[in-house]
Each structure stands twice: as C-alpha cells, then as structure tokens.
Amino acid sequence: MYSIDAHGNGNLVVQCNNDNFVEVCDNSPLSQVEVSDNNAFDLSVSNTIDILSPLSYKLLQDLCAGYGYSVDIETISETCEDNFLQKYAVEHGYRFTENFLSEMNNHKNNFVDSVDFILAYLCYSFSFLKEPKNNCKNITELMNKICCSFSKCVYCLRPKCVDNLRSDIIPIIIKSIFDSNAIDSSYALKMTYSEMERLFLHFVTTLEKLIMGRVMKYWRYFCNENNGLFVNHSNPFDCAYRFYRVAAPDIDCPAAFTNKFGECISFMAVAKIDEMVNDFVDRLDCELKKNIFSKCCFICNYGNDAISNLDKLREKFMDLVEEEFNKRIIVEGVKDSFSSFLKNVLIWNKDEGGGINKVLVIDKIIENMRYILTNKANNAYRVINSFKKRLTLFKRRSLVSVKYSRAVEDLWELKLHPEDSRRFLSIKRKFSNKSRKIVNNKFCEMLNEKYRFLDGTIVDVVDWDKISKNLFPVAQETVRHLVDDEHAELSKFLSNARVIENINVLDESSIGTRKISPEEIDRLLKVSVNSIHGRNRYLFSSVWRNLIKSQKSDKRSEMVNNIFFSNELGGTGKVVSSAVNPVLMSSVGDSDPPCIATSVQNELPEVVSISVDLLGKEDKIINRWGLNIHPDDDKLISFIRRKFSNHIIDHLTRLFSSMLKNRAVLPSGIVLCDYSWTIVSRELSEIAIESVESIVKKQYVELDRVLSKARIVDVGVNSDSSCTIRRVTNVEKAELVKCVKNLISKRLSVSIRTSWLCVVNKSSTDVGYGYKEKPNYILGSAREGSWGVKLRYSDNISILKTRRRFSSKIKCVLRDKFISMLEKSHKFDDGTFIGPFTWARISRKLTPIAKEEVSPILEDQKEELEKIVSRSRVVVDLVDREITQEEKHIVLRNIMNLAHNSLKASFRKIWDYVISSSRSNSIDIKDYLSTNNCDVDCNDVDILRAEGDEKNHISQLKLYYKDDVSILNVRKKFSSEIYRRISNKYNRMIEERYVFSDNTTIGMYPWRDISKKLLPIVKKEINPIVEKEREKINEILLKSRVDISSPNRSSKAIITRELTSEERGYILEKVMKSVYRKITDSVSQIWNKIIKSSSVGLMCLKEMERSELDNIKLEFFGILGSIVNEVVDFLLSDTNTSSLSSFDDITANIYHIVSERSHSLFCECGFLSRVESLLSDAKIVDASGKYRFVTDEEKKLLLKEFMAIIGTDRDFLIRKRISKLDSLSFPAELDLKVNSESPNKHESNVYSDGIYLLIENEHRYAKMASFKNVTNG
C-alpha cells in the first residue's frame, strides 16, 4: 500500500518495509478557532446532542487525514461499506435514521459511478503500447514508461472527479445533513452545527479518498492481468517521480473546503452563511419595496408635482438603500451574529504559521450582502418607474386619471392622514361590493319570478333606459339598509380621523397633524351621502347591463346549439308548410342516447314536397357534403360534430397540461416543455390521436345513426319552385360517411394544434418579435423584450432574415467539417479517434472544434447585424425614435447571446444528420481477413479495461453504432412507458384513497415517509415492463456486432465481429443495472412531482364562490369593452393604414395599450382587491372530504389561474374587435415588396412557402407575422 504527501511533494515519498508503504507528512498548516459557549447567534435546537468537546487541531487532522493523493487502500476499503456512517455515529454516542443512511449511501454510490465514468479514460494512459514505434529495451524500462503514463493520466483525471464532487454531490449532501435528525436513546434530536460540520467533513473526505481507491483498483487489476511480465507491483507514482520527475500537483485544501471570503471555509459553512445572507437580504428587500411603494403613494396622493417628486426619489434611491442597509446591520447586530457563528466554524489555514483574520472575513461577508442587495433592489426601483409610467399615461388619456383619494381631497378641501385616507376608501369599497352582490341577486330573482311592477308591466330582458324608472326604486330599497350602515360606520370612523396641514412628500413626514373638527366631519358625511347616491345609480345600471348581457348570450348559445324541427301534415298526408318549431335540442344531453336526437327524423314521411323558399343555404350544404342534405339534418350533424369537438379539445387541454406539469418524456427522448408546435407536432399528434380514440369512436356511432335517417332535397324534379325530400340511399350514406370522416380527421388535427397552443400560451402573449409578456396583474409590470427595447416590426424581420442566412452558412460549414473529420479518422488531443458515436458521447470533444470553425461566420453576422441595429428605430407607445448608442450595444449583445445559445442545439442536429446520412456498411472480420490476406499478431501485454473484475475486458468493446442506437431507442421507449405507468399508478392510488396493508391511507406525504410502502407496489406494477425491456434488449444483442476496426485505417468500411455469449451476458446485465438505477431515481422523482403539482384550481371552489368570480369578470369586461373600442377607433383614425407595416404596428400598439389600461383598471377600480378578498375567505374540499380554508400559497395559485383567464379573455376581446382589420388588403404594395426582395426564382419560392427555416423557438412571432403578410398578398 502506498501514500503520497497531500501537497504532492515528491521528495517526501519514502519506501517502507515489505508493504512498500509511503507515509503522509503530518505538518499540514491547519488552524482552529475555539468554540465559545455564549453564542449570540444560536444555530441549534434546545434539545441537542452535545457530547463532543470543542474541535481541536488533532480533531481536524483526523477528519481530513488522507485527503489528496493518498493511496492507503486498507483505510479506504473500510469506508466502502454501506454501514460506515452508522459506525461513525455509534463511535460518537448516537445513531442515524434509516432514511438518512439510505440517502447518504445513495449519494456515495452516485459519486462512485461518476468517478468510474471519468476514470474510464485511464485506459488511454496505455495507448502508447499500440504504437508500432514503441521499442522498449527491457521490462523495467517498459514498466517505468507505464508508471509515468499512468501517473500523468491520474493527475489529469483526479481534479475532474473533485470538481464533480464539489459541483454535483456536495450540495445535496449538505441539504441531507441539514434536514437530518440523530437518535439518542429513543429520542430524535437535532444535531448542533459543529456536529453537522464534523459529519460533513468526515463524509466528504471519505468520498475524496475513494477517488484514489478507485484509481489503485485500476492499477492492481492491470498488474494482475500482466503478472507474467510485471512481477514488481511497486508504487506507480513513486516510480514516475524517481525516473521522470513527474510529481503530484499541489493541493491547497481538501475537497470539503472552498476559498470564500478570503479564507478556506467548508462548503457547509458557506451554505449556512449564504442562508443567513439571503434571509437578511430578502427581508430587507421586502421592506424596501414596501417603503418605496408607500412613499410613491404618498407622493401621488399629496404632492403638487408628483412626477418631479418621483424623479427626485429615483435620484436618491441608492442613498436610501445604503442608509437602510447600514441601519439594519447595526440594529440587527449582524456582525455579532456572524462573529458568533464563525467561532463554530472550522477554517483551513492556507499560510503555515499564519493566523485567521476573522474581522476581514466578516467585512467581506457584509460587502457580499451589500452587493446582493444592490442587485435585488432593482425590484424596488421598478416600483418608482411603474408609478411614473402610470401617471404619464393618466395625463395622456381622457378617462378618469386620478386616484379617488386625490379627487376626495380636492372636493373636501382638506388632507386626511394617509392611514385614515386608506381606511376611508376601504370602507367605501366594502359596502360597494356588498351592494353589488345584493342587487345582482335581487335582479336575478325578479327575472326568474317574472316580477310585476306597480304599473302592471312584467320585468323583461330590455335595456336599462327602458326599465330604469321601474327598476331603480326597487334596487334602491334593497340597499337602503347598507346605505345606513355605511353612513354609521363612516361617522364612527371620522370621529377619530386626523387632518394634516404641512407635509414633506419625499420623506413621508407630516407636521402639524390635528384632529378633524365636527364641521369638517359634517361636510365630509354630506359629500359622502351624495357620492353614494351617484355610485348606486351607476352600480344598478352596471349590474343590470351585465345581467341582461349574460342572459342574451345564454339565449344565443341555446339557439345555436339546438336544432328545431316542424312537420305539419294536412289531411292528405302532404306537407302544407314548414316552420321552425321550438323543440329544444338542449334536452339532448351528453348522457342521453343518440337516438333521442334523431327522434324527429322518424316522424317524417318517406317522400314529401315542399317549397324551395323554405330551405336555404343549398349551395353551402352541397359544397360541404356533395349532396343537398336537408338543412335541419345539416344542423344536427354540425351540432354533434361541435359537441364532440368541444369534448376533444377539453380532453386534450387537460392531457397536455398534465404532460407539461409532469415534464413528460416523449418517445424521442425529448423532455416536454413549451416548445413551438413545429418541434413536437409529430409525437404529440400520435399521443393525442391515441388518447381521443374512444371519443372519436363514440362520435362515429352517433353520426352513423343520424346519417342513416338523413334526408336529401331534390330541387327541380317536378317544378323549379318546389323540391322533393326523400330518405338517403345506402350509396349516398356511404359517401356521406366518407366525407364526415375526412372532415373529422381535418378538424382533429386543428383541435390538437389549437389545444397545444392554448396550453403553452395560457400565461403568455406574444406582443411582437422578441417580446413575450406575462400577465402583469400579479407580478406588477410586463418585462421588456428579449432585445431590451422594442424595435419596429420591419427591423425585427430584418434581424430574423439575417440570422437565418448565417444559420444556413453555419450548417453547411459544420456539415463539411464533420464529414471531413470522419473520413480522415480525426485524432483528438487525448489520443482518441473520432467515430460514429452519439452526440452525448462526443460533444465534449467536438464542441470546441465546431465553435472555432464557426467563429468567423459569427463575426461576419455580428458586423451585419450591427448595421441593421444602427438604422433601427425604437417604438415607444405610438411613436418611434432613433436608437441610442447604449441601446444599440444592448440590443446587439442580446442578439448575439441568442445566437451563441442556439449553437449547441445546432451542433447536435448537424452531427446527427452527418452520421445518419454518411454511415458505412460493416464488414465481418472473417470476410475482411480472407479478402485482404492479413495475419493478426497478438500483443503480449493486455490493455487496461474499464473495471476491476474478471469480465472487465468486455467493457472495452465498442458496439456497432446501429446496435448501440437500437438499444438506446429501446431504453427510451420503455423508460417513457415505465414513467407513465408509475405516474398513472400514483394518481390512481391518490384518487381512490388507497389503503395499505397496515390500514393507513395514502396521502401527500414526503417520499422518505411513504417510500417503504410504495416501493413494493411500484415494483409489482413495472416488473412486466422491465422483463419485456430485458427481452427486447437481449433480442438486439443476439444480432449485435462489435466494432473492432482500427481508427488509423484509411478504409471507410467498419470491421465487425459477432458478440460472444459471455460478452452478450455481461452487456445485458450492465444495461439492466443502469435501467434499475434509473427506475430507482424515477420512482421518487415522479412522486415528488405529483405531490408538488397537486395544487388546487378554481374548479375546486364552491359553486357560490365561482359564481362570484364570474360576476367580477363580467363586470370587468363590461367596462373594458368601451376602453378597447376607444383605443381601436383612436388608432384607426389617427394612423395611416395604407401600408402593411402600419397594419402590424397598429395591432401591436392596440395590444400594448389595452394591456396597460386593463391592468390599471383591474387594480385601481377594486377588482383585484375583490378577488383577493373573495379568495381569502374561500373554502375547498380536502382529502378527507371536509371543507377547509385555502392557504396563502393556494390563494396565490388560484389568483394566478384567474388572472390567466382574464388575460386570455382580454386578448380574445381585442382580436374580435380588430378582426375587421384582417379584411384590409395591400395587393400592390405586397407584390412590389415580393418582387423587389425576390430577385430569383428560389427566393420567390421561399416567400411563397412562408418560412423556410426555423431557428429553434425564439422567432415564433416573426415567423407567424411574416407568413401572414406573404399569404395575404
């Protein structure tokens, strides 16, 4: 066994006794800060385990002994056991829970797997043995070369293993330790921070030592395999240093430490410090936003020049942040807290003999806090900009543009204290909401009961102007008691109100505050009574208009969705007349048998005559069906199609939403997210068609029954003015069925695409190329575009075309480069050769080459884009202006960032295309040898393989590419099936409230609490699928071949041979072991996703609460409709609509302005507060079937869902209002544009096809707009 000095000092390596052991030098520079008992910042729970003495220098040595390049195999092997942590705990007088031990062992196993993957490259350290020029004089010289090559490779690979440990493993280890409990006797107690850190250092140092343990495992196996030649099993690192002066690299500190805040501190200490810092910064940032918001409200409500005062506040914003930060640092005693905490922290001293400057560490922590706060304070800064922007818009618009409190101040000629002013408005809103609800219920009751007024008229769905004189007294009497209650509450409140005379709006301070006088109270109450009267008149009319609007809408929907039949037979049995008879098809529900809908058809005679004038839409019906079907039958068929189409869209919307939430894996291996339809259309269409198959079959059955009794209208048989109605023949029915299926198939494709777009765009709206706005009712304001500023539509299209052109160049250059590298068997810097590998296996080596190859193209692209951006113009509200130099740099930088970020996906696609299109056929080794008359000489030395057991030589084999891809595809297919099966099983168990064998019921518990019960059930559920996967992979391996061709061969042919049974069995077990490991990780991940996504929705609310939300929405859109009309009419009258670009600018501006004004309307007119108030008192049914109040987190989700509905309906309202703009045509200008921009036939075809290349997903809006412009032409 061997050991090397931790700092890699080769001269300290000493040969010892028969074991060839090399001692580690013990004088590493370590420093320990003593522990103090009077901590000002307590990090532990009161009931803690405190059995260890304060950390000492000796303890630090023990915890970190053997780090670095130590190869003490006996010590390392002890830590490989799964119970080594429990032994550690027992030695210290306590033990860990089973869940914690299992979790930590999983972390260790995952790290070992990653280390093995990295160390697999150790095989290349012996690649020089293959070189024909390798002429060693004797075994000793050969062994020295091997030791040197092996040592260099280890010194290169170990840092990569440590990087993996620090980046991927340590963060989850820290989380597991922080969440863990120890058990003392029979009590579960929280460990102190010192005990947690000692455990962390012990565990991470153990993992660090395992790296060299795996390294020496490779070396021992190599020596054992070649025992006949190399009998001297000496230390390879010692040998490499003695003969070639190859020393181990210097190591500053163990892997458990990192250089942070000027010292080497453990990652666990850094995590705790970051937690303390983030907690402080988050609290302070929240307070800053509240204070800034309060100051802005104060300025707007009480300042004479609000915009100027907001500018002053913005100028001194950073001073306010700095002042508040320094004040909170002192008040909360932050420095003392960190000083107390650092007394418990273990610090690795980098300078031998030097001390630890604790004050400097604290100063750097404070400076880091200041930097984070400065970055986060931008949120508070945006509050000022938001207020200023709204004030600017208020001044520009002719609508009500001043807050109610300011109007009250002008009317009363006094200034209430801000707190009293807010309280006053709150009382007014409360009674207004109550009045609206009571009046709405009263009006509904009157309509349902056909209320008769005193003058004898009966209430009906008519305009407010016609019924107000009768309806207003009733409504006024209904809310009279609320008026009295409001007056009484205001009187009581105003008796203690305060009036301010002098005020400083910038620091929100008031001077000379006094109590309100009785005369002022009387004046305020008098004005309040008058305002209540006016408010109620508006409220009554608003409620009535919304009510009759919904009534009319319901009636129209009822008329559209129902079919009316009539047949009045005379004495001779002939039809005398035909009129619509009110037979409501609404009685035909979804659950009713389809024959009910066709009952009227059975009552008609076989052949009748009727006037042609009574049957309309003949041409339209013939164009649709090829036959002149009776209009009533045509309506019935349309009704059935529309009903099932709605079912399909609802079903697909739920399906796609669930897939997005669960991040479903498509058959191709893509993890589903909000991709454009072009990318996922093929796979999603297949899944959707299979999902709705049962619904489509029901639709076919119902339509078949209707078509069997359909009637055909023959016009002009006896007279041009009359027609004959007869039953459909079997031949005609067959044609109709074929036509119906074609229509259903086309409609299904549209429904699938529509459902997907509805799901991915539910919470976002494209407002221009490079711009996507989120609903801003909750978040505050919409973010600017991807470029940082909003450019003109024409400028965005120019940028898009330029990017496409250079993307095509990149594709051509890289395709030729990759093909050339494959043909010439390119050799990489690490000695390996290129081959037809998957992108995942070769991307790390190919990406730098590809980037270097396309670098000149990107520079040319940047120069051309810079010219386009320089002449671009920025759009602000309705006008455009020149772009500034700063904006130019920002836009160009963002565009190039987008181009660079899309390179990785482009490289992968080009590589996949190259290897799939240029792959050569394979030649069996026997055929190759017989053809070329070759003899194969076997080397005396076996080359190192990837693992350390008797079968490890097999893992050096390289499967033929097609076989490798086949196995990968099978794994992806079954992985997706297993994922769906487990997910469906979990959902089914939750819905059915599954009862386990111990009589406990399943619930939304953490995985660690329920895993033992779920794992046997899941295993039983997926065992058949796993066995099928094993059989399928085995079938592929039976036909698989091994690629044994040399990378230096000039021939393009791939030389292969068949797998042996031993090799086949080993590969199968290796693959299945990976499958089981993947399943083990998936079962917990799927469960965590399900319990995380099982959030409440609006449909979980009670009917009364959903109805109230609908009323709020209807009231809001009743007001918003007039705003939309005003904006559209103003822009149409104020803008030249004769050009194509003007049309797109109008549309974009309408969306932008209406979005902002709807935001202001919803927030400032009380709609948002009403929704929040309603959700605060809302109840839902919990898992036990009982009602409970919604939590704050659920309230946010419900509010977000409601606002998404508001946003979708708002956009629909805008689209409906501007639909007449679509009828605008620009033939002359568009023809000129196409001709001028398409000098040759190829480019003309490109324009006629719309979009010829999709660059990832970021140009969706421009693509749609460009396609629309061209097709309109």
Order across the sheet with 95-96: list the strands.
48-49, 187-191, 182-184, 95-96
Q: What's the mean pLDDT in 650-658?
A: 86
Q: Please report the DSSP string for 362-390 in residue order.
A: HHHHHHHHHHHHHHHTHHHHHHHHHHHHH
Reported in sequence order, the residue ranges of 287-374 that DSSP labels E, i.e. its strands, are: 346-348
The letter for the amino acid at 1073 is: K
Report the distance separating Cα 575 and Cα 614, nearest Å.
12
Determine the pLDDT at residue 412.
55
Is the Cα torsion angle 1205, 1208, 1210, 1213 positive or negative in sign? negative
Strands 771-773 and 263-266: unpaired
* Beta carbons within 8 Å of 1171's beta carbon, 6+ residues apart: 1109, 1112, 1199, 1202
Residue 5's pLDDT band (cuts 50, 70, 90)? very low
Q: At what angle do helices 418-448 and 404-412 cross, to 10 degrees?
A: 110
Ranges 264-278, 582-596, 1090-1104, most confident = 264-278
Tell me the average pLDDT of the chain. 71
Determine the pLDDT at residue 924.
46
User: Domain limits of the chain?
Assistant: 10-20+55-255, 271-396, 404-561, 576-591+621-760, 791-919, 921-932+941-1094, 1099-1272
Measured from the Cβ of residue 742, the count of other Cβ atoms closer than 10 Å reads: 10
677 to 335, 757, 758, 764, 1085: CA distances (angstroms): 54, 7, 11, 15, 27
**Tokens 């000493």 -> residue:** 14
Report the distance separating Cα 69 and Cα 222, nearest Å.
19
Q: What's the mean pLDDT in 491-514?
A: 68
The percent of residues in the chain predicted with pLDDT above 90, rounded, is 1
Is the Cα torsion angle 658, 660, 664, 668 positive or negative in sign? positive
Determine the pLDDT at residue 849.
92
Higher pLDDT among residues 275 and 1126, named by residue: 275
For residue 984, which of 656, 662, 690 has the smallest C-alpha distance? 662
User: Which range is least confidently modeled, 164-168, 337-341, 806-810?
Assistant: 337-341
Higher pLDDT among residues 17 and 515, named by residue: 515
1159 to 558, 776, 864, 1166: CA distances (angstroms): 33, 7, 39, 11
Q: What is the pLDDT of residues 59-72, one digit of tens each?
A: 555 666 666 676 66
Six-digit token string for 360:
């400097």
Tell whether the model's pLDDT for residue 93 goes beyond 70. Answer: yes
Determine the pLDDT at residue 28.
31
Residue 1195's pLDDT band (cuts 50, 70, 90)? confident
Burial 1002-1022 (b: 16+ CB within 10 A, else e): beeeeeeebbeebeebbeeeb
Q: What's the mean pLDDT in 1194-1222?
A: 77
Q: What is the pLDDT of residues 1133-1165, one digit of tens each?
A: 655 444 444 555 677 777 778 888 888 888 888
Instruction: Determine the distance from the C-alpha atom of residue 41 to the mean position of all C-alpha atoms in its chain, rounded to a whole number.
Output: 38
Higher pLDDT among residues 509 and 863, named by residue: 863
User: Which range is least confidently modeled, 181-195, 720-734, 759-773?
Assistant: 759-773
Is the Cα torsion angle 563, 569, 573, 574 positive or negative in sign? negative
Alpha-helical regions (H) of 449-564: 464-478, 480-494, 518-561
Q: At what angle do helices 98-119 and 1007-1039 cross, to 10 degrees?
A: 30
Q: What's the mean pLDDT in 141-163?
A: 85
Residue 857's pLDDT band (cuts 50, 70, 90)? very high
Q: What pTM value is reported for the model?
A: 0.39
Determine the pLDDT at residue 219.
83
Determine the pLDDT at residue 368.
84
Q: What is the pLDDT of residues 710-721, one digit of tens each?
A: 888 776 544 445
Ranges 37-46, 323-332, 431-440, most confident = 431-440
Residue 457's pLDDT band (cuts 50, 70, 90)? confident
Instruction: Determine the distance from the C-alpha atom of residue 108 to the mean position of all C-alpha atoms in its chain, rounded to a whole number.
Output: 30
Q: What is the pLDDT of residues 897-907, one digit of tens each?
A: 888 888 888 88
Tell whether the model's pLDDT for residue 701 goes beyond 50. Answer: yes
Phi/psi at 362 (5° precision): -65, -40
Determine the pLDDT at residue 1134.
57
Let me know: does 97 contact 181? Beta carbons within 8 Å. yes
Q: H-helix or E-strand containing 1147?
A: helix 1140-1164
Tell whether the model's pLDDT for residue 1016 goes beyond 50. Answer: yes
Q: What's the mean pLDDT in 853-865?
A: 91
Measured from the Cβ of residue 364, the count of other Cβ atoms closer than 10 Å reads: 15
Strands 187-191 and 498-499: unpaired
Reported in sequence order, the residue ranges of 201-312 that DSSP labels E, i.e. its strands, are: 257-260, 263-266
Determine the pLDDT at residue 331.
85
Determine the pLDDT at residue 397.
44
Tell whether the model's pLDDT for residue 850 goes beyond 50. Answer: yes
Q: What is the pLDDT of residues 1061-1079, one digit of tens each?
A: 888 888 888 888 888 888 8
For residue 282, which of 380, 367, 361, 365 has the smallest C-alpha distance? 380
Q: What's the mean pLDDT in 760-788?
A: 43
Residue 1233's pLDDT band (cuts 50, 70, 90)? very low
Report the distance separating Cα 619 and Cα 802, nearest Å.
48
* Distant-in-sequence contacts of 219-224, Cβ < 8 A, 24+ apart: 219/150, 220/948, 221/944, 221/945, 221/947, 221/948, 221/952, 222/126, 222/944
Determine the pLDDT at residue 395.
57
Q: H-helix or E-strand containing 978?
A: helix 961-991
Determine the pLDDT at residue 134.
54
Burial 148-185 (b: 16+ CB within 10 A, else e): bbbbebbbebbeebbebbbeebbeebbebbbebbbeee
What totals of helices (H) and strands (E) does the chain contain, helices first?
Answer: 42, 26
Determine the pLDDT at residue 1047.
53
Determine the pLDDT at residue 707.
85
Burial 758-782 (b: 16+ CB within 10 A, else e): ebbbbeebbbbbbbbbbbbbeeebb
Beta bridge partners of 1249: none
